[in-house]
Amino acid sequence: MRFAVIVFPGSNCDTDLFRAIEEVLCEEVDYVSHHETNLENYDAVLLPGGFSYGDYLRSGAIASFSNIMPAIIDFAESGKPILGICNGFQVLLESGLLPGAMKRNEHLKFICQTTPLIVENNETAFTNQYRLQERINLPIAHAEGNYECDEGTLADLEKNHQVVFRYADNPNGSKGDIAGIVNERGNVLGMMPHPERAVEQLLGNDDGYKLFQSILVHWREQHAVTS
Ligand SMILES: NC(=O)CC[C@H](N)C(=O)O
């Protein structure tokens, strides 16, 4: 399986993500610049955390107009998996690939801590290795992680089981305690917590590993040779 890690000016979790794939998941991975326009050679696209374009205007707003964006939208339409982590989630919201928006954290402070989460849907390409309602701990590190949407959107997210991760102890004021959502088709996941920072015990926590493993298991199931 071949992964693309998209690099924007100001991305700062791209190396963590690259190493999680190359050294822990042991799959192929390339950095792909925001200047590029083609993602045909990839099976999954990863949008890393960071401060793309310095978070000017709103976090993710300028990156959502990058050269690479039409290819990311085509990739989503083809049904292949896209994972946006933290700033990557913000880019997915700003580009309209996921519904809703991010506001500043409720207490207007940057939060950097490990946070308990509940796996609310374990039937996605990203969470099939977790148990339903499994409680996991992942690091968060953001200033704009206060998820907001209108009541109709929230009702749709709940009805379609698009809320994948919920905060057990809402740290930022997110509506519905939402920490991560998928699109209706289920192939685009945005999440504020950082699974790539928790992929092996050497990092003190491996609760994020199963997320990457899930993507691989899902891809293998789709590409299984049947006779
Ligand atoms: N680690 C991240 O991606 C967080 C940065 C993000 N732009 C913020 O809201 O602060």
The response to whether residue 197 sits with its C-beta less than 6 Å from ligand 1 reads no
Determine the structural domain holding residue 52 and report its residue range: 2-222
Nearest-atom index, ligand 1, CA of 144? 9
Q: Is residue 141 part of a domain?
A: yes
Per the structure, the count of domains in the chain is: 1
Q: Is residue 166 part of a domain?
A: yes
Q: Is residue 190 part of a domain?
A: yes
Q: Is residue 22 part of a domain?
A: yes
Is 0.90 exceeded by the ipTM?
yes
Res 39 pLDDT > 90: yes
Q: Is residue 121 part of a domain?
A: yes
The response to whether residue 51 sits with its C-beta less than 6 Å from ligand 1 reads yes
- The pLDDT tens digits for 85-99 are 999 999 999 999 999
Residue 19 sits in a domain whose CATH number is: 3.40.50.880
Distance 51 CA to ligand 1 centre (A): 6
Does this model's pTM top 0.95?
yes
Res 227 pLDDT > 80: no
Higher pLDDT, 224 or 78: 78
CA distance 213 to 4: 16
As annotated, the active-site residues are 86, 194, 196
Q: Is residue 75 part of a domain?
A: yes
Nearest-atom index, ligand 1, CA of 110? 10
Q: Which residue has the tokens 């690939």?
A: 97
Distance 143 CA to ligand 1 centre (A): 6
For ligand 1, atom 8, the nearest C-alpha belongs to 142
Q: Is residue 227 part of a domain?
A: no
Q: Is residue 188 part of a domain?
A: yes
Nearest-atom index, ligand 1, CA of 60? 7
Q: Which residue has the tokens 């298991």?
A: 217
From residue 153, give the alpha-carbon distance in Å to each of 99, 109, 197: 7, 27, 30
Res 221 pLDDT > 80: yes
From residue 147, give the alpha-carbon distance in Å to each of 54, 141, 173, 224: 20, 14, 7, 37
- The pLDDT tens digits for 103-112 are 999 999 999 9
CA distance 161 to 202: 33
